[in-house]
Copies of this chain bind each other. A is one copy, B any other.
Amino acid sequence: MRFAFTEDQLAFRDAVRDLLVRECPPSVVRDSWTNATGRTTTVWGHLAEMGVLGALAPEGAGGLGLSFLDLVLVLEEAGYAALPEPLLEHAAVAIPLLPDPAPAVSGATTVTASFPAAPYAPWADTAGVVVVADDTRVRVVARDELDLTAHASVDRARRLYTVDAPPGAGIPVSDGAALERGALGAAAQLIGLTRRMLDLTVEYVSERRQFGVPVGSFQAVKHHLAGARLALEFARPLVYRAAWSLTHADGDTPVHVSMAKATASDAAHLTGRAALQCHGAIGYSYEYDLHLFLKRAWALEGTWGDAPWHRARVGRAIL
């Protein structure tokens, strides 16, 4: 029993973290809310060069042949940055399903996904391929074979589409735990978002003064944020544990994934509430950055199965 990441895994995370600090500050996220694509101009290419997009693809297909355990910390960092790109759908969900992953590995083609638990395919308009799953089968379908219907998300970077695929369209593929990868990837991003909202709030309440003292010196504020820190502390190991389970395909993967997604969703929700409340009116202002992360968290809490959905799945296994 050794519950820790390897030096290589941490180095891979640090490289992506450095990239996102440089290329995806809040100003870039904010720009994606109003630009044409809802995406960044530079990050996708860098992620392709670093091998992140194809991390799960076999080396023979130009990928890194890595496991979800290698990718989970990267997804967490993408959450921390509120990266406005379909990294989860492309790198975590789709790549292992693609008959020919090469164009996706290189980033030439963007792949997104629509699953019953996550029906709105984000950024489908700028994707070349969509993984379309219903209750009976999973298909890989070229976007130009699909009818897309646009939907607006509270997170305006997320350009959502319902996809209508003709019966014969696309290539059927075997599921291969795609739902588990999607749910766990969302959980990892929620952990990153939780960390970010906590960091923003700790910084703010340490500086903001009211009644002649820092707001963060009030016990009520301390306890709000201590509660958020507690939720983070005990959600995070479940996410990493589920990533190990997914990587080694031990029998309990769905239970571990559901424990992770349910707990990460609750941690993000509680932290978002605490962050907004401790910021007061400043955090409630559109010009302040908190809401960029808050709304991404709201979106991910409800997709790939929300907390009650996943607890019900655990319940079916243990009760």
In the complex, A211 has a CB within 8 A of chain B? no
Min C-beta distance of A83 to chain B, whole Å:
37
In the complex, A208 has a CB within 8 A of chain B? no
Q: How many copies does the complex hold?
A: 2
A223 vs B220: C-alpha distance in the bound complex, in angstroms?
Answer: 8
Min C-beta distance of A102 to chain B, whole Å:
53
CB closest residue in chain B, given A219 = B219
Question: CB-defined interface of A216-245 with B at 8 Å, one 1/0 digit per residue?
Answer: 001110010000000000000000000000
Residue of A218, A219, A223 contacting most chain B CB atoms (<10 Å): A219
CB closest residue in chain B, given A223 = B220
Chain B residues, Cβ within 8 Å of A219:
218-220
Chain A: how many interface residues by the 8 Å CB criterion? 4
Q: Is the interface of A mostly helix, strand, loop or mixed?
A: helix
A111 vs B199: C-alpha distance in the bound complex, in angstroms?
Answer: 63
A220 vs B223: C-alpha distance in the bound complex, in angstroms?
Answer: 8
Chain B residues, Cβ within 8 Å of A220:
219-220, 223
Chain B residues, Cβ within 8 Å of A223:
220, 223
A220 vs B221: C-alpha distance in the bound complex, in angstroms?
Answer: 10
Q: A residues 42-63 with Cβ under 8 Å of B? A: none
A218 vs B219: C-alpha distance in the bound complex, in angstroms?
Answer: 8
CB closest residue in chain B, given A221 = B219
Min C-beta distance of A203 to chain B, whole Å:
22
Q: A residues 176-218 with Cβ under 8 Å of B? A: 218
CB closest residue in chain B, given A218 = B219
Chain B residues, Cβ within 8 Å of A218:
219
A228 vs B291: C-alpha distance in the bound complex, in angstroms?
Answer: 32
A275 vs B225: C-alpha distance in the bound complex, in angstroms?
Answer: 23
Min C-beta distance of A106 to chain B, whole Å:
53
A220 vs B218: C-alpha distance in the bound complex, in angstroms?
Answer: 9
CB closest residue in chain B, given A220 = B219
A60 vs B220: C-alpha distance in the bound complex, in angstroms?
Answer: 59
A223 vs B224: C-alpha distance in the bound complex, in angstroms?
Answer: 12
A219 vs B223: C-alpha distance in the bound complex, in angstroms?
Answer: 10
A128 vs B223: C-alpha distance in the bound complex, in angstroms?
Answer: 54
3 smallest beta-carbon distances between A and B, as pairs: A219-B219, A219-B220, A220-B223
6 contacts between A and B (CB under 8 A): A218-B219, A219-B219, A219-B220, A220-B220, A220-B223, A223-B223
